């Protein structure tokens, strides 16, 4: 595709969400201007934009912290989630033993226990990583387990007729068949992982940077009249989630191009 | 083998390949490999890797397996498509890749289950031609199941006509015609008619009307 055509395509893709965002921001601006809500609690869209511009450096450095946490957490969650999914898939006993625990782990009130983690592990990265991994590994486990189970039984039969061992059936059929599902799990995980990072930053006291920390700081100290910075940080978080999701989507296409052609080829 | 749906053709092939075991009786056959009805190319492997699957499973390194499969590709007229992904291939080419995979399994007996059933008439005629040529170059015992009586006589040395419920061989016809065969050869046409007559007898003897829809053909 030539560059101009690609640009036109990108514009066409971006137009609908941009239109929705424009309408929402417009409504926000109008509502804030009516003055029904205190400016401190709901700053107008333009003042948030100004705060974003004036504090770009501050927000960027905090975003870097959050991005690092999410990146590390997602990587760990992928590793743990994939291992769990494999064990659950390969050993029925492990499925019975582990799956309920994995589901139950999602009901752990992370915001409440996060401060306790600090007592156990100190103020470092570890408590935050734990929160992110706890939230992120679950979608990876569920989608990968389902992906591994959804392998075409005829493909396994074919490998059987060619004399494949259990490991080879796994290597040539089950693993690649499950890859697109696992990557979808990763995309869900990155979206929820961001909120996990923010919760972790807010609830593990002693944090000194990160978007969650910045938001909490500016919302808690109303006398400083900095709520628009908190809003600006939220907007950045919002945009970052979208970027992460689509970046992983592009990666998935690269890693598992067959997923786009899964509709059975005309036989 | 030709015969109506429900005669147990696929079951017979799976018995020969050892995928199923018989409830009674035994199967005396050399080691056999199955080419299933759908080509079953793995979508995450390129064409040559699909063809080389049996070699990889046998423990041969990827590069060497690819080299061997590439040689088979050239003979089947697939050169240039080694790195194509399955969805980029036409149905006729996919069938050739599946056949290469079957051939490279290195078994003395090939069980082909309606290999060309889903192909259009022109692609099917071409497929019959390359299959015949490939078997001339590299002779194997082939057990071919087909719905197409004409295809059976174009390709086979011996045609077994099966009859359904219970499945049994109602006629066996030797085909002593030189290759390549023409489907309009009067002798071939005469054999074909005999097979069709046998099929019709089998159907009427067991009452075509009472034949229930079969779970598989």
pLDDT tens digit sequence for A154-194: 888 889 888 888 899 998 999 999 999 999 999 999 988 99
Would you call B43 and A168 a contact, using CB atoms and an 8 Å cutoff?
no
Q: Which of B39, B57, B105 is the closest to A267 by Cβ?
A: B39
Question: With 70 as the cut, is the pLDDT of residue B210 above it?
Answer: no
CB B159 within 8 Å of CB B153: yes
Per-residue confidence at A140, pLDDT binned at 50, 70, 90? Answer: very high
Rounded distance between C-alpha atoms, residue A152 and residue A264, angstroms: 11
Q: Which residue of A has its CA nearest to B85?
A: A258
Q: Which of A163, A172, A261 is closest, CB to CB, to B87?
A: A261
Of the candidate ranges A126-140, B53-67, B87-101, B116-130, the one whose mean pLDDT is the lowest: B116-130
- Name the CA dihedral angle for B128, B131, B133, B136, rounded to a multiple of 10 degrees: -130
Q: Write out the E strands in B119-185.
A: 141-145, 158-163, 168-174
Band of residue A101 on the pLDDT scale cut at 50, 70, 90: confident
In whole angstroms, give the CA distance from residue A162 to residue B101. 9
- Could you say which residues from 179 to 208 on chain A have a Cβ atom under 8 Å away from some Cβ of chain B? 179
Above 60 in pLDDT, residue B211?
no
Fold classification of A64-256 (topology level): MetI-like fold (1.10.3720)
Q: Nearest by CB to B57, which of A154, A164, A267? A: A164
Q: How far is B22 from chain A (nearest CA, A)?
A: 17
Contact present, B161 and B184 (Cβ < 8 Å)? no
| A160, A161, A265: residue with CB nearest B94 | A265
Sign of the four-CA dihedral B124, B126, B130, B133: positive
* pLDDT range class, residue A207, cuts 50, 70, 90: low
Is the confidence metric ipTM above 0.85 for this complex?
no
Across the interface, whether the CB atoms of B42 and A262 are under 8 A apart is answered: no
- Give dist(CA B201, CA B203) in Å, integer: 5
How confident is the model at residue A75, as a pLDDT?
A: 93
Rounded average pLDDT over B163-168: 78
Nearest of B135, B143, B88, B81 to residue B115 by alpha carbon: B143
B19 pLDDT more than 90: no
Q: Which of A63, A89, A42 is nearest to A238 (CA)?
A: A63
Q: What is the least distance, in Å, from the CA of A172 to any CA of chain B?
A: 8
Q: Where are the domains of chain A?
A: 64-256
Chain A residue with the nearest C-alpha to that of B41: A155
Q: Are B94 and B147 spatial neighbours (Cβ–Cβ below 8 Å)? A: no
Predicted confidence (pLDDT) per residue in B72-97, tens digit: 888 888 888 888 898 888 888 898 89
Mutate: best of B56, B87, B99, partner A, most A CBs <10 A: B87
Give B34→chain A minimum CA distance, Å. 7
| Cα–Cα distance for residue pair B167/B199, rounded to 1 Å | 12
Task: Say what angle helices A92-105 and A56-90 make with each other, to 10 degrees.
Answer: 150
Distance CA(B113)–CA(A191), nearest Å, equals: 47
Least CA distance to B40: which residue of chain A? A155
Contacts of A172 in chain B (CB under 8 A): 42, 45, 53, 56-57
Indicate if the alpha-carbon torsion angle B124, B130, B134, B139 is positive or negative. positive
Does A254 reach chain B within 8 Å, measured CB to CB?
no
**Between chains, do A163 and B57 touch, taking CB under 8 Å as contact?**
yes
DSSP string, A132-178: HHHHHHHHHHHHHHHHHHTS-HHHHHHHHHTT--HHHHIIIIIHHHH
Whole-number Å distance between alpha carbons of A66 and A59: 10
Q: Mean pLDDT throughout A137-142?
A: 92
- Fold adopted by B9-209: Rossmann fold (3.40.50)
Q: Which residue has the higher pLDDT, A34 or B208?
A: A34
Cα(A33)–Cα(A82) distance, integer angstroms: 50
pLDDT 10s digits, A220-240 = 776 666 788 888 999 999 899
Q: Cα–Cα distance between B170 and B141 in angstroms, integer?
A: 22
B79 vs B145, which has greater pLDDT?
Answer: B145
CA-based torsion, A76, A145, B19, B104: positive or negative: negative
Confidence of residue A1 (pLDDT cuts 50, 70, 90): low
By the 8 A CB rule, do B50 and B41 touch? yes
Query: Is the pLDDT reported for residue B179 higher than 80?
Result: no
- Quickly tell me which residue has 């417009």 as its tokens: A26
Enter the tokens of residue A125: 């990265």
Q: Answer yes or no: do A261 and B53 touch at CB < 8 A.
A: no
State the Rg of chain B over Cα.
Answer: 18
Burial class (CB in 10 A: 0-12, 13-18, 19+), B145: buried
Nearest to B95 by CA among B71, B82, B78: B78
Average pLDDT over residues A21-38: 86
Q: Choose among A163, A172, A267: nearest Cβ to B91.
A: A267
Q: Which residue intervals of A35-170 are DSSP H helices?
A: 45-54, 56-90, 92-105, 110-121, 125-149, 153-161, 166-169
Q: At A152, give phi and psi (nearest 5°).
A: -65, 120
Name B162's bridge partners.
Answer: B169
Cβ-nearest to A157 among B19, B43, B91: B19
Cα distance between residue B30 and residue B122, in whole Å: 34
Provide the mean pLDDT of chain A: 86
Do A192 and A81 form a contact (C-beta atoms < 8 A)? no
On the question of pLDDT at B214 being above 90, the answer is no
Q: How confident is the model at residue A24 (pLDDT cuts 50, 70, 90)?
A: very high
DSSP-assigned beta bridge partners for residue B174: B158
The reply to whether A249 touches chain B by the CB within 8 Å rule is no
Q: How far apart are CA A153 and CA A189, in angstroms?
A: 29
pLDDT value for A115: 81
For residue A31 the two structure tokens come to 């509502």
Q: What is the pLDDT at residue B212?
A: 45
Q: Is A219 left (phi over 0), alpha (psi -120 to 50) or beta?
A: alpha
Structure tokens at B136: 């001339």
Most B-contacting residue of A157, A159, A162, A168 (CB-CB within 10 A), to test interface: A162
């Amino acid at each position: 595709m030539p560059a101009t055509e690609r640009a036109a395509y990108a514009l066409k893709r971006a137009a609908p969400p941009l239109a929705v965002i424009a309408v929402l921001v417009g409504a926000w601006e109008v509502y804030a201007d009516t003055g029904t809500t205190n400016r401190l609690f709901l700053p107008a869209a333009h003042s948030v934009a100004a705060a974003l511009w004036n504090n770009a450096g501050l927000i960027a450095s905090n975003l870097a912290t959050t991005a690092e946490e999410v990146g590390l957490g997602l990587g760990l969650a992928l590793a743990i989630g994939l291992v769990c999914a494999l064990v659950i898939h390969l050993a029925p006993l492990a499925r019975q033993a582990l799956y309920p625990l994995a589901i139950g782990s999602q009901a752990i009130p992370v915001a409440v226990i996060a401060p306790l983690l600090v007592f156990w592990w100190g103020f470092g990265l570890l408590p935050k990583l734990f929160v992110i991994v706890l939230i992120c590994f679950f979608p990876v486990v569920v989608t990968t387990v389902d992906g591994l189970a959804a392998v075409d039984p005829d493909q396994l039969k074919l490998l059987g007729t060619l004399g494949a061992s259990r490991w080879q059936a796994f290597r040539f059929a089950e693993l690649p068949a499950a890859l697109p599902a696992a990557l979808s799990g990763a995309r869900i995980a990155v979206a929820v992982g961001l909120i996990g990072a923010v919760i972790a930053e807010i609830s593990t006291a002693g944090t000194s940077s990160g978007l969650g920390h910045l938001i909490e700081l500016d919302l808690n100290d109303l006398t400083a009249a900095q709520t628009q910075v908190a809003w600006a940080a939220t907007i950045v978080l919002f945009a970052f989630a979208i970027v992460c999701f689509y970046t992983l989507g592009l990666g998935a296409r690269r890693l598992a191009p067959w997923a786009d052609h899964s509709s059975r080829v005309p036989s | 083998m030709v015969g109506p749906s429900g005669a147990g053709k696929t079951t017979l092939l799976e018995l020969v390949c050892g995928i199923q075991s018989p409830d009674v009786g035994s199967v005396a056959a050399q080691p056999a490999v199955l080419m299933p009805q759908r080509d079953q190319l793995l979508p995450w492997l390129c064409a040559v890797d699909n063809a080389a699957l049996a070699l990889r499973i046998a423990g041969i390194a990827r590069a060497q397996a690819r080299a061997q499969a590439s040689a088979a590709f050239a003979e089947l007229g697939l050169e240039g498509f080694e790195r194509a992904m399955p969805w980029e291939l036409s149905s006729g080419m996919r069938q050739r890749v599946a056949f290469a995979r079957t051939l490279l399994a290195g078994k003395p007996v090939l069980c082909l289950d309606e290999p060309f059933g889903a192909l259009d008439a022109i692609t099917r005629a071409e497929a019959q031609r390359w299959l015949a040529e490939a078997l001339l170059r590299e002779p194997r015992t082939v057990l071919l199941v087909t719905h197409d009586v004409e295809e059976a006589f174009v390709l086979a040395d011996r045609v077994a006509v099966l009859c359904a419920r219970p499945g049994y061989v109602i006629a066996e016809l030797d085909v002593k015609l030189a290759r390549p065969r023409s489907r309009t050869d009067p002798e071939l046409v005469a054999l074909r008619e005999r097979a069709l007559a046998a099929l019709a007898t089998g159907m009427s003897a067991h009452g075509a009307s009472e034949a229930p829809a079969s779970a598989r053909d």
